[in-house]
Chains A and B, each alone.
Chain A
Amino acid sequence: MSSIEERVKKIVAEQLGVKEEEVKNEASFVEDLGADSLDTVELVMALEEEFETEIPDEEAEKITTVQLAIDYVNANLG
């Protein structure tokens, strides 16, 4: 099983259609990775499925960078 960080980055790369090496921890989905608002919604959906959890809307809105996604998963799972 790969680490949470690797799993999050893989999903981000798949969902946003970018190369995995572009998915830096500090990268913002919208500003750096070219996501539109609907992409970010889909990204959260994909994270929910990967980690078998439900991310409340008010939390989902705060997940704007790769690191914040990793932090959320680390804090709420495992």
Chain B
Amino acid sequence: MSIKDKVALVTGASRGIGAAIADKLGAEGAIVIGTATSEGGAAKISERFAEKGIQGVGKVLNVTDADSVAALLKDIQGEFGAPAILVNNAGITKDNLLMRMSDDEWFDVINTNLSAIYRLSKACLRGMMKARWGRIINISSVVGSMGNAGQSNYAATKAGVGGFARALAKEVGSRGITVNTVAPGFIDTDMTKELSDEQKELMQSQIALGRLGQPEEIAGVVAFLASDAASYVTGDTLHVNGGMYMS
């Protein structure tokens, strides 16, 4: 059973790693619903899919809003059927030293990066349980394992998704649903462009492969986890970081 014609929901699909994941799953034949935070972003995703001959559309989603999640799921269910593959990719950073971190900086990151995974996974599980097949893939970060000064909020969420995946994997394994985490290292995206040159140089010097990763190199691993080749992999965290961090 391939992922051809399976419905895949990818959050944060307008750019960076999420865009690469959405495009890769689409190229493998999945019907992809890629979400963005704005109407404009969603329209761009739809355009990109059309250009690339990918089945599916862009949709607006605020991952921090339970009503928005419920409305999207209803919409997808009516139009395409229940998602069989969920990729929890949407994420933000609000970096600051903990001593200077505001409540908003802390809770916004927790809400978008961690609580959203709770909301979306819960919403998608019903269809997966009925189908006796499902793939939930969370995008974490090497920072969740290594830590990074100024990112205590972000690191907490990224470590958290791994624990979430391990617990949920045990809950729903008997129903043919796998739950895994992909932890990218230093990937060439808008998010890492925000880092200072010193931070970049330091990080790059620690990468065994001596270069940044490309979003497509994360997307390939996600596609593997979504495929039947990974049917016996669950509760795991796959580190994809060019040897920057080895556990």
Contact = CB atoms under 8 A, between A and B. Distances in A.
A38 B171 contact: yes
Interface string B170-191: 0110110000000000000000
A71 interface: no
B200 interface: no
Contacts of A45: 126, 129-130
Please report whether the interface of chain B is mostly helix, strand, loop or mixed according to DSSP.
helix
A72 to B, nearest CB: 19
A38 B130 contact: no
B78 to A, nearest CB: 16
A42 interface: yes
A38 B171 CA distance: 8
Contacts of B172: 38
A41 B172 CA distance: 11
Interface of A is mostly: helix
Interface string A39-56: 001100100000000000
A45 B171 CA distance: 16
A70 to B, nearest CB: 23
Contacts of B174: 38
Contacts of A38: 129, 171-172, 174-175
A41 B175 CA distance: 12
A48 to B, nearest CB: 10
B156 to A, nearest CB: 27
Interface of A: 38, 41-42, 45
6 interchain residue pairs of minimum CB distance: A42-B129, A45-B126, A38-B171, A38-B174, A38-B172, A38-B175
Interface of B: 126, 129-130, 171-172, 174-175
10 contacts: A38-B129, A38-B171, A38-B172, A38-B174, A38-B175, A41-B129, A42-B129, A45-B126, A45-B129, A45-B130
